[in-house]
Every structure is written in C-alpha cells, then in structure tokens.
Amino acid sequence: VGKATLNSVNLKGSSFLTLKDFNAEEIKHILWVSADLKHRIKHRGEYVPLLQGKSIAMIFEKRSTRTRMSTETGFSLLGGHPCFLTPQDIHLGINESTTDTARVLSGLADIVLARVYSHSSLELLDKDASIPIINGLSDLYHPVQILADLLTLQEHYGSLKGLTLAWIGDGNNVLHSFMMSLAKLGVNLKVATPKGYEPDANVTQEAQRLSKQFGTKLQFLTDPVEAARDSNVLVTDTWVSMGQEEEKKKRLKDFHGYQITMQAGSVAAPDWTFLHCLPRKAEEVDDEVFYSPRSLVFTEAENRKWTIMGLMVCILTDYRPQIPKLKF
C-alpha cells in the first residue's frame, strides 16, 4: 500500500502536542501525506489499510463534532479500530491518576488523541505514556485544526509562501497554533484582538522570534479593518469558548465591530478567502460571507479528516506518499 519513506523526515513514534515542536519540513511532510491519502481514497476510490490491526484511544473531556468524526472515521477508513472515551467512560485524573491512565492505555492502544481542558493534562499523558499522544484541543493549542487550514489554503492558492493571514477575534488556542506554524511556511500574520484579549505572552514572544528567523511579517493590532487590509485570508473563531459562558454578555460587548463582513473584505486582497474552524455564530461572521464562494469553511472542515489521517499515518508508519510533493 506504500513504500517506506526514504526522505529525511521521520515522525514515527512522535507525539503531536504543539506545532512549536515541528519544523517546516515536518509540517510539509504531514500535509503531503494528507493530500496523498485524500487523492488515493477520495478521488481514486482506493482502500489503503495502513493502520490495520492498530487502535486509537480517543479521550474527550470536551464535546466535538469535527475532531471526533474526523478521527473516528479516518482511523476506521485506514483499517484501524477507534475507541471513544468520554468523561463518563474515563475519569482522567479523578478516579484514576493521569499517570496510571497513560500507562494503562500504553498497553491497550497504539496511540492516544486527547481533547482536554488543560494543556498540562496532555503533557502529563505524554510524559508517562510509551505511545504517541495527539493534542485534539487544549486551552493553549489546537494544532490539528491548523493542519486542516494549511491544507485548505494550499489547495486553494496552490502555494502558501507569501500569503498574509489576518486573524480577527479572540487571542485563543487556534491563534496560538497559527502563531507557532505560519512563519515557518513563509506566511505573514496580522492579529487584531480587542484590548484584554491578546494571545498568551509566551506564545507571542516565540512567534516574534519565528517571524524574525523566517523573515515574515507579524503585526498585533486592535483595529480589525487594518488587519483585513491587503490580507489574503480572513480568519475568526468563536468569541465565547466552552467554559466561558458566564462571560458571554461582556465578550459580545467587547468584540463589537469584529464581525467579518463583505465590508471588511472590501479592503482585503482581491483574492481573499475566509476560514472558520466551526461551530460558527452569526455575530462572528455574517451569512453573506459565511455562505459565499469566498468561504472555504466546509472544505476546511472536511480536511480535518484527511489531515488527522495523514498525521496518524506519519506517526504510526513509514509510509511514503505516491503523489508528487506539494508546492509550498
């Protein structure tokens, strides 16, 4: 079903907690494998059982549509067996310590994907497990989402280098993952957040270092129009994440003027597109943009499946893609 990889990138056995830990060639390789699987399985109708005989433990402290469906269907499509574990099935760090859970799952599964409240839970799992851990979302990072976004943009634009992405919204985990990856791929980033909603200071410091290292532009603003100006990609996310419901009234007031509309797009680059990791609320982006041809959100959602499949194949096998390398 595939030849052993002969290039310098070898991710087999690696955990995937944050894109901070992955260099440009490693990120490109994951996207290449993802595009290859999409081509072979979706477009050519092949059966590619690269994960036959393997199992994944999927720990979900937070509910999800895309993360669960993409991982569960993707692992099955590759011939493996997914096991879905909710807080009702597994008491991570409560009835059983995270350390013990990590050791038990290491003997029962080949890999773990965990969607957790605290990033420290992932770090503890990774420390005590002898199998790879994938971050399905934490309070600090959401790296599997960014893989889907990058593949979506690569497919649409044909290349990533030189694009400018404008983040308009909350300084959250999705933004943090963009900040840990875009500069490595030659993508400029403009961030517009209301005062008091800026990204994490440590993440910002690392992003500034990466921008300087790779020669990209990184700007932090409070004016969403200035962020949109001349940008190729406009991106936002929920203003009220799970666990922040009590802050909703204040947040909606503080984010007034941050809704993405065609008026915001009027100052963007002529080829501008829109991304949102979903679920979406109307105050974040209006219907005119969300359902327009400029919106890539449903391709982006589908690519969650192909990129998590590509990531898992990279971590668990020596597979080498059959399609030519992607242009970045």
CA angle (272 as vertex; 271, 278 as ends), nearest 5: 145
Q: Which of 277, 289, 312, 326 is catalytic?
A: 277
- 114: β partners: 59, 135
Q: What is residue 200's DSSP assignment?
A: P
Q: Which two tokens stand for residue 263?
A: 């008026």
Supply the Cα-derived Rg of the chain in whole angstroms.
19
CB 29 within 8 Å of CB 315: no
Beta strands across the sheet bearing 55-60: 81-85, 55-60, 111-115, 133-137
Using DSSP's 3-state secondary structure scheme, residue 244 falls into coil
User: Rounded to an integer, what distance in angstroms lies between the CA atom of residue 297 and that of residue 318?
Assistant: 31
Question: Is residue 277 among the annotated active site residues?
Answer: yes
User: Rounded to an integer, what distance in angstroms lies between the CA atom of residue 173 and that of residue 137?
Assistant: 8
Residues 6+ apart with CB under 8 A from 175: 167, 169, 191, 199, 237
- Cis peptide bond N-terminal to 279, omega within 30: yes
User: Rounded to an integer, what distance in angstroms lies between the CA atom of residue 187 and that of residue 79?
Assistant: 35
Q: Which helix (H) or strand (E) holds 235?
A: strand 233-236
Q: Find the farthest-apart pair of alpha carbons in the chain and give their distance in angstroms, rounded.
A: 55
Q: Kindly list the catalytic residues.
A: 277
